[in-house]
Amino acid sequence: MDMGHVALMGSLVVIMMLGIILRAHAVTPTETERAGAQQWTSAKFEGAPLPPEGTARGPYSNELPFSFTYDGRKSSELLNNWQVERTKREVKPGLTEHTLNYTDPASGLVVRCVALEYRDFPALEWVLYFKNARNTDTPILEAIRALDTGLPLPRDKGASLHYANGSECRLDDFAPHIASLGPNQHDPQAPWVGEKNAFRLESKGGRSSCGILPFFNLDMETHGAMIAVGWTGDWTASFYRTDSEVRLQAGMRRTHLKLLPGEEIRSPRILLLFWEDDKQRGHNLLRQFILAHHSPQISGHRAQAPVCIPTWGGNFAEKHIAHAKWWKDNNLPLDYLWVDAGWYGNDEAKEGATVFNSQWWRYVGDWHPNPGYFPNGLKPVGAALKDMGLGFLLWVEPERVYKETTWTREHPEFLLGPIGDNSLFNLGKPDARRMLTEHLYALVTEGNIGCYRQDFNMDPRPFWEAADAPDRIGISEIQHITGLYAMWDELLARCPGLLIDNCSSGGRRIDLETISRSIPLWRSDVQCYPSFGVTAMQGQTHGLSQWVPLSTGCCDREDTYVFRSALGPGILLIMYEFEQDTQKHFSVEWLRQMLGQLNQVRDYFLGDFYPLLSFSLANDGWAAWQYDRPDLGEGIILALRRPESPFTLMTPTLRALEPESRYEFRDLDTNTAQRLSGRELLETGLRIQIDQRPGSQLLVYRKL
């Protein structure tokens, strides 16, 4: 592994994770929550001797929060006999770094755990590093669990795990789920008791949020913990009860490897955030923590989810410029013109190109602008957009390389595979990563690209598994994923105004590491024509907003109900066929009204999120949620009556309001207002009537 890039990656990630601690927009931690997190951190990282194996664990025991097996022996047996060095330093006010270094005197293996303790949130996160400091191979290192710890819970108390689907181009992408880890009640045969009976979740195919989203909420009735796994490859997690605690374990799906002389690897990043009182409070603390510490930064400020107009890339440069000019001439707010797939390679240049009549997939691996569409490259488009004050978003899929493309001929040594028609560009190879980074940097600078959109439309797991030797299982994945982080970090460092859009056949790579560097602007391929699902998109907002505060939905027609089904901190306005004159698809008047409303409510999406109805994808129901900004005393209510709903009226009880205060609610369509007491809204509810089917209502409220 290229250790210079590992060091660069580590320093950049730390800088980015720290970000700028922003004023809280919503729930703020209590002293009890912060004190509990500090006690847990002190117990795990501040040096008390480890208890002998088998010793009963008390509350916040000093057992280390990770484990592994080395040369056939568990770390709990080994580490008491290894040399240990503990350091602690204040990185900045409110942030403490704890480092544990364990060295095996026999083999020279160094195990380093770097943990960040946050004082503005009851949160702790850590990464493990394993380094071979000798000039011979190490014994086998396996079963690396970056998270292996217990949270105390009496056997008669209940526990449940809240989690969500990932993205698989399904109508139920990001749908929430609950698994009971019920009370032990002295029954060793209970289905949730013991590691063999653990409730297990894992990713699919090597993409982190394919199948299951790697964020969890452990609810222990009166308190709990938010858990996140930061790893953009394959992960696994398990949860089970013992007599005195709930055990949490997570790590890579497969590790069984020796380390070569001088080699260092890292583990997934683990986040624990502690909450008291109510599980929804836990979700909102996580949202605020991510906004403060794990959101991409542009020029020192947290990036904003943008308003974009995606267009098919396989069209003539002058049409892209004219398309942007239409928006500019009509004074419509737009952040980026989005040039999607089809702009590269040597596909036939033709009028009326679309995703359906192009062969865009045959040219992934030929990353030069198609001379038929862009005879002078991307530079004229980027320059024209810059002159108009608009951003340029460009789609690239660099990790998938199709057969008989340029990179298969010029750089076969950089590829894993092929498997079928595709190869995997090996980001774990330092020379390959440097070449790709330079190539992408040249595209970004030449075209004045403001948002780099990285897609990935295949499963990498088969390529990694085929490349691994029996005594190196997991190494190809580790090297590729750390290479991905190093490449993104270098691009962001060299292009400080750059935003990254993280796509992978939709939202299949959403995890703590990727959302620290990018925003998922395309949450699911179920949004693709002709399967575009409006109700499904409402489900995505309901499900994903519990965990990830920054993402965008999309609207594909002039329809207020569809627009509001996609409403969030940003939005995409998509056209499946390229239209030079957007008015053939959206009228100026409607766009001005809808985007004006979005700008009025945009900042509320940075607040607390409260679903007002249970999750459902039934077309005869409603969807409704509340975003609250207690720092402003303001918020919004969005209600959506679905196309088959027989009900014209709902009365949801609201959240987070002050019982003794009065609130004014204003309808953004009619501009009518009503004033109600907080107590009435919390106990009786807010009357919402929608006569149209489907229909919507968007209300802005403020405390008087």
Listed residues 549, 572, 603: the one ending a domain: 603
Instruction: Give per-residue pLDDT as tens, 458-491.
Output: 999 999 999 999 999 999 999 999 999 999 999 9
Report yes or no on 182 lying in a domain: no
Among 49-53, 70-74, 325-329, 507-511, which is the least confidently predicted range?
49-53
Are 597 and 620 found together in one domain? no
Are 333 and 421 found together in one domain? yes
Listed residues 570, 603, 636: the one ending a domain: 603
* Cα→Cα distances 494→14, 191, 300, 437, 604, Å: 16, 52, 14, 10, 32
* Cα→Cα distances 635→26, 153, 290, 704, Å: 11, 36, 20, 13
Are 546 and 692 found together in one domain? no
Report yes or no on 618 lying in a domain: yes
Report yes or no on 352 lying in a domain: yes
pLDDT above 80: residue 401:
yes
Among 265-279, 563-577, 685-699, which is the least confidently predicted range?
563-577
Q: What is the mean pLDDT of residues 494-502?
A: 96
Are 616 and 583 found together in one domain? no
Q: pLDDT: is 221 or 3 the higher one?
A: 221
Split into its structural domains, the chain has a count of 2
Are 404 and 318 found together in one domain? yes
Report yes or no on 179 lying in a domain: no
pLDDT above 90: residue 354:
no
Who's near 438: CB < 8 A, 6+ residues apart?
none
**Start-to-end CA span in the chain (Å):** 60
Tell me, what's the pLDDT at 530?
Answer: 77
Report yes or no on 366 lying in a domain: yes
Tell me, what's the pLDDT at 166?
Answer: 98
Report yes or no on 189 lying in a domain: no
pLDDT above 70: residue 697:
yes
The mean predicted confidence, pLDDT, of the chain is: 92
Q: What is the mean pLDDT of residues 515-520?
A: 98
Are 595 and 652 found together in one domain? no
CATH of the domain at 636: 2.60.40.1180
Are 460 and 522 found together in one domain? yes
Tell me, what's the pLDDT at 13?
Answer: 37
Tell me, what's the pLDDT at 19?
Answer: 35
Q: Write out the residue range of the structural domain in which residue 662 sits.
A: 612-703
Are 367 and 490 found together in one domain? yes
Tell me, what's the pLDDT at 5?
Answer: 38
Q: For residue 12, what pLDDT band results from cuts at 50, 70 and 90? A: very low
Q: pLDDT: is 299 or 219 the higher one?
A: 219
Using alpha carbons, select from 518, 517, 512, 566 the residue that is nearest to residue 538.
Answer: 566
Are 438 and 472 found together in one domain? yes
CATH of the domain at 312: 3.20.20.70
Instruction: Give per-residue pLDDT as tens, 217-233.
Output: 999 999 999 999 999 99
User: With 0-12 CB in 10 A as exposed, 13-18 as middle and 19+ as buried, what is 636?
Assistant: buried
Using alpha carbons, select from 87, 108, 85, 110 the residue that is nearest to residue 98.
Answer: 87
pLDDT above 90: residue 61:
no
Report yes or no on 324 lying in a domain: yes
d(CA 516, CA 375): 36
pTM for this predicted structure: 0.94
Are 566 and 481 found together in one domain? yes
% residues pLDDT > 70 (the chain): 93
| Longest CA span, the chain | 76
Instruction: Give per-residue pLDDT as tens, 612-664.
Output: 999 999 999 999 999 999 999 999 999 999 999 999 999 999 999 999 999 99
Tell me, what's the pLDDT at 583?
Answer: 58
pLDDT above 60: residue 405:
yes
Listed residues 572, 603, 634: the one ending a domain: 603
Task: Find the helix packing angle between 475-494 and 430-447, rounded to 10°.
Answer: 30
% residues pLDDT > 90 (the chain): 87
Are 421 and 344 found together in one domain? yes
β-bridge partners, 499:
451
pLDDT above 90: residue 37:
yes
Q: For residue 56, what pLDDT band results from cuts at 50, 70 and 90? A: very low
8 Å CB contact between 599 and 335: no
pLDDT above 90: residue 427:
yes
pLDDT above 90: residue 137:
yes
Report yes or no on 572 lying in a domain: yes
Are 335 and 366 found together in one domain? yes
Tell me, what's the pLDDT at 59?
Answer: 54
Tell me, what's the pLDDT at 356?
Answer: 86
